[in-house]
A and B are shown apart, each in its own frame.
Chain A
Amino acid sequence: MRRVLNRPELGAACGVVAVWLFFAGYAGGSGFLSQAGAATYLEIASELGLLAVAVSMLMIAGEFDLSVGSMIAACGMTISLLCDRLGWSLWAAIAVAAVLSLCVGMVNGLVVTRTKLPSFIVTLGTLFILSGSTIGVTRLVTGRTQVGGLRQALHYGSAEALFASRIGVFSVSILWWMGITVLASWVLLRTRFGNWIFGAGGAPDAARNLGVPVARVKITMFMTTSLSACLIATFQAVKFTGSDVLRGTGKELEAILAAVLGGTLLTGGHGSVLGAALGALIFGMVQQGIVFAGVDSDWYKVFLGVMLIGAVLVNTYVRGRMVEARR
């Protein structure tokens, strides 16, 4: 019992239940409870969840990555341009985008660990560089800001099966989300590298003295967040058969939000990937639940903000109870 209460994701789990109950009661009749309704918010949650899992691990390691938002646009556009302009196979294009994302992640990590500048600033710079070059290059090459026609790309079918198919009404990305959450949870809680992540974020000097390669851990985590952004870009490029230069705008903050909802501390050293996955689920349910509830879109942000603060409060309240129970 005490072990359950000690888990950082308990608050997020309660938040998920609370938000679900709220919309089930308020908008249950208009499709929120239907299979198709669940499919719409699970699809949002799965993509954000993939990103939030990686972002929460990076935050546990004590760093932020704001560049993931424009990384989504950059990778998506790389895939679309290579297929559309050069006639590449979709798989080759995805591979190039993945390598590109890993390189950017490595540069982020190297700059942060070498210069000791705050990662918030460094990755904000990367955010602008990536976003600007995506718009610039795309317009230079195509004269437009959207590139489509991915359906005609070589090997589209097999990529669609892996990234954009549906099981019933549910998107296949939900399976990815579950799989990656389990994998990341295992790495974080059951491996030596997982311990290093907690050490690098919680007490970097102590960790360094114990022989933990703190810089290497952080660089690896930056590369992981970039790669997860590239994965989302792939999902969206394949699913929507093309890319535009603005895709992914704001996702970096949503991912941090999901991680915080899931009990990850902004100061590093503490958190949970399962919590981040649940945080993404809360976000997805709120985002779509508002539509099902028929709330006028003018009020959308008020609603989102109130629900999110409410979820964090539930989270904090549960954690407070947990501390009392331990005494």
Chain B
Amino acid sequence: MRSQSIRAVMACLAVVLAMACTKSETPAPASQANAPQTPSAPRKNITLAVITHGQASDTFWSVVKNGVNNAAQDLGVTVTYNAPQTFDMVAMSRLIDAEVAKKPDGLVVSIPDPEALSRSIQAAVDAGIPVISINSGSDVYKQLGVLLHVGQTEYEAGAGGGEKMAATGVKNVLCVNHEVGNASLDLRCKGFLDAIAKAGGTGRVLAVNAADPTDSQQKVAAALTGGVDGILTLGPLSSNAALAALKQGGSLGKVKLGTFDLTPDVLSGIQGGELEFAIDQQQYLQGYLPIVLLTQYKQFGVLPAGGVLPTGPGFVTRETASRVIELSKQGIR
């Protein structure tokens, strides 16, 4: 009786496993038929791997992943996308190690912590795998032997936000960091606070937990009592929490709020005047472009001549918000 029930449970587990496995085949065969055919060698043998640090709960990274998947379908190449479950650089470096052992035709990585990831990325480069970095790592990619960086330079983007914020006349600001440990976010805050300081204001960093919106909201609400008149959040997770905190404290419109990255919520907030601006780095391109570049590199050996391929910063303000809203709903911006 006992062993029978165990066998039944095992059978169920086997079914679930089988489902999980089949679900993971990246390019659907139907879409390959629609892919543009070139006279060159078939592309379906090209396998690429993408490893980022993006947590699954972060809508920003869903858009990157949409870019990756759409590029894979358009080109008919096989791409696997992986990210550690939490912001864990040791786990991320091991995902890279595993991909290197699989010997893909190309590797795309984000580099939020060069110290921790350099060993694994260099191993990939040494193994002859072409590597392109995206999103974070614009300042270090070259030293690691990475061919090209697709993304925005973080310090300048933060400073740009600071200048725009200072122009509205704020004096006492918060930089809300939702991913403590990410060097790129540290750079954004530094750029932001430096620009504010240059304009004669002061400010500090407030760390919140991205995976827990209640925690984020209440931390911002508590910080607001200190006479803060400007907030920059570094992503949609914390901008939603900051908005909720402003509503809670009744200081909506009195405290200027700017954010990095777009979501439908952020865009409607800008349209409604609750948010001043959003700094847009067009992360869809950070997913899409490297797949195109690496496919071309594998097929023909061609690649842009190096450097940073900037996807941002651009600013979305009240004037431009409505155009962007539709695309954002489709997971493209």
Interface residues of chain A, those whose CB is within 8 Å of chain B, are 26, 30-31, 34, 36-37, 39-40, 43-44, 135, 139, 143-146, 148-150, 236, 239-242, 244-247, 249-250, 287-288, 291-303, 306-307, 309-310, 313, 316-317, 320
- 30 A–B pairs (Cβ distance < 8 Å), ordered by A: A30-B102, A36-B101, A37-B101, A40-B98, A40-B101, A144-B183, A144-B186, A145-B182, A145-B183, A146-B116, A146-B183, A148-B114, A148-B115, A148-B116, A149-B115, A241-B115, A241-B118, A242-B113, A242-B116, A246-B87, A246-B181, A247-B89, A247-B90, A292-B101, A297-B81, A297-B83, A306-B13, A306-B17, A313-B10, A316-B6
Task: State the Cβ distance, A196 to closest chain B Cβ, in Å.
Answer: 35
Tell me whether B98 and A299 are in contact (CB under 8 A). Answer: no
Q: How far is the CA of A145 from the CA of B115 in the complex (A)?
A: 12
Would A146 and B113 be within 8 Å (CB), given that A246-B180, A247-B89 are in contact? yes
Tell me whether B85 and A301 are in contact (CB under 8 A). Answer: yes
Tell me whether B116 and A291 are in contact (CB under 8 A). Answer: no
Tell me whether A239 and B119 are in contact (CB under 8 A). Answer: yes
Q: How far is the CA of A281 from the CA of B2 in the complex (A)?
A: 28
Q: Mark B17-33, 1 if CB is under 8 A from A, else 0.
A: 10011011010000000
Task: State the Cβ distance, B291 to closest chain A Cβ, in Å.
Answer: 15
Which A-chain residue is minimally distant from B185 (CB atoms)?
A145
Residues of A within 8 A of B82 (CB): 291, 297, 300
Residues of B within 8 A of A297 (CB): 56, 81-83
Q: Which of B16, B56, B90, B113 contacts A302 (CB 8 A)?
A: B16
Tell me whether B10 and A295 are in contact (CB under 8 A). Answer: no
Q: How far is the CA of A112 from the CA of B62 in the complex (A)?
A: 45
Tell me whether A296 and B26 are in contact (CB under 8 A). Answer: yes
Q: Counting chain A CB atoms within 10 Å of each CB, which of B26, B56, B82, B90 scores highest? A: B90
Tell me whether A288 and B94 are in contact (CB under 8 A). Answer: yes
Q: Mark B75-102, 1 if CB is under 8 A from A, else 0.
A: 0000011110111111001110111111
Task: State the Cβ distance, A115 to closest chain B Cβ, in Å.
Answer: 29
Interface of B is mostly: helix
Tell me whether B93 and A310 are in contact (CB under 8 A). Answer: no
Which B-chain residue is minimally distant from A34 (CB atoms)?
B101
- Is B3 in the interface zone, CB < 8 Å from A? yes
Q: Which of B24, B118, B181, B205 contacts A295 (CB 8 A)?
A: B24
Which A-chain residue is minimally distant from B69 (CB atoms)?
A296
Number of residues on chain B facing chain A (CB within 8 A) = 49
Q: How far is the CA of A250 from the CA of B103 in the complex (A)?
A: 30
Q: How far is the CA of A316 from the CA of B81 in the complex (A)?
A: 35
Residues of B within 8 A of A139 (CB): 205, 207
Residues of A within 8 A of B85 (CB): 300-301
Residues of A within 8 A of B97 (CB): 36, 39-40, 43
Residues of B within 8 A of A301 (CB): 85
Would A244 and B181 be within 8 Å (CB), given that A31-B103, A43-B94, A249-B88 are in contact? yes
> Which residues of B111-158 are within 8 A (CB) of A?
113-119
Residues of A within 8 A of B20 (CB): 295, 299, 302-303, 306
Q: How far is the CA of A309 from the CA of B16 in the complex (A)?
A: 12
Tell me whether B90 and A236 are in contact (CB under 8 A). Answer: yes
Task: State the Cβ distance, A23 to closest chain B Cβ, in Å.
Answer: 11
Residues of B within 8 A of A310 (CB): 10, 13
Tell me whether A240 and B17 are in contact (CB under 8 A). Answer: no
Residues of B within 8 A of A249 (CB): 86, 88
20 extra interface residue pairs, beta carbon distance < 8 Å, beyond A36-B97, A244-B113, A297-B56: A39-B97, A40-B94, A40-B98, A135-B180, A135-B207, A139-B205, A146-B181, A148-B114, A240-B116, A240-B117, A246-B87, A288-B98, A291-B98, A291-B99, A292-B102, A293-B24, A294-B80, A301-B85, A302-B16, A313-B13
Residues of B within 8 A of A302 (CB): 16, 20
- Is B9 in the interface zone, CB < 8 Å from A? yes
Task: State the Cβ distance, B273 to closest chain A Cβ, in Å.
Answer: 33
Tell me whether A240 and B93 are in contact (CB under 8 A). Answer: yes
Which A-chain residue is minimally distant from B97 (CB atoms)?
A40
Residues of A within 8 A of B115 (CB): 146, 148-150, 240-242
Tell me whether B24 and A294 are in contact (CB under 8 A). Answer: yes
Residues of A within 8 A of B207 (CB): 135, 139
Q: How far is the CA of A241 from the CA of B118 in the complex (A)?
A: 9
Q: Mark B278-293, 1 if CB is under 8 A from A, else 0.
A: 0000000000000000
Would A44 and B94 be within 8 Å (CB), given that A295-B24, A296-B26, A299-B23 are in contact? yes
Tell me whether B101 and A145 are in contact (CB under 8 A). Answer: no
Residues of A within 8 A of B113 (CB): 146, 242, 244
Residues of B within 8 A of A245 (CB): 180-181
Q: How far is the CA of A241 from the CA of B113 in the complex (A)?
A: 11
Tell me whether B183 and A298 are in contact (CB under 8 A). Answer: no
Q: Which of B21, B26, B98, B181 contacts A31 (CB 8 A)?
A: B98
Task: State the Cβ distance, B124 to closest chain A Cβ, in Å.
Answer: 11
Q: How far is the CA of A39 from the CA of B100 in the complex (A)?
A: 12
Ranked 7 nearest A-B pairs via Cβ: A148-B115, A242-B115, A36-B101, A291-B98, A240-B116, A31-B101, A244-B181
Tell me whether B95 and A291 are in contact (CB under 8 A). Answer: yes
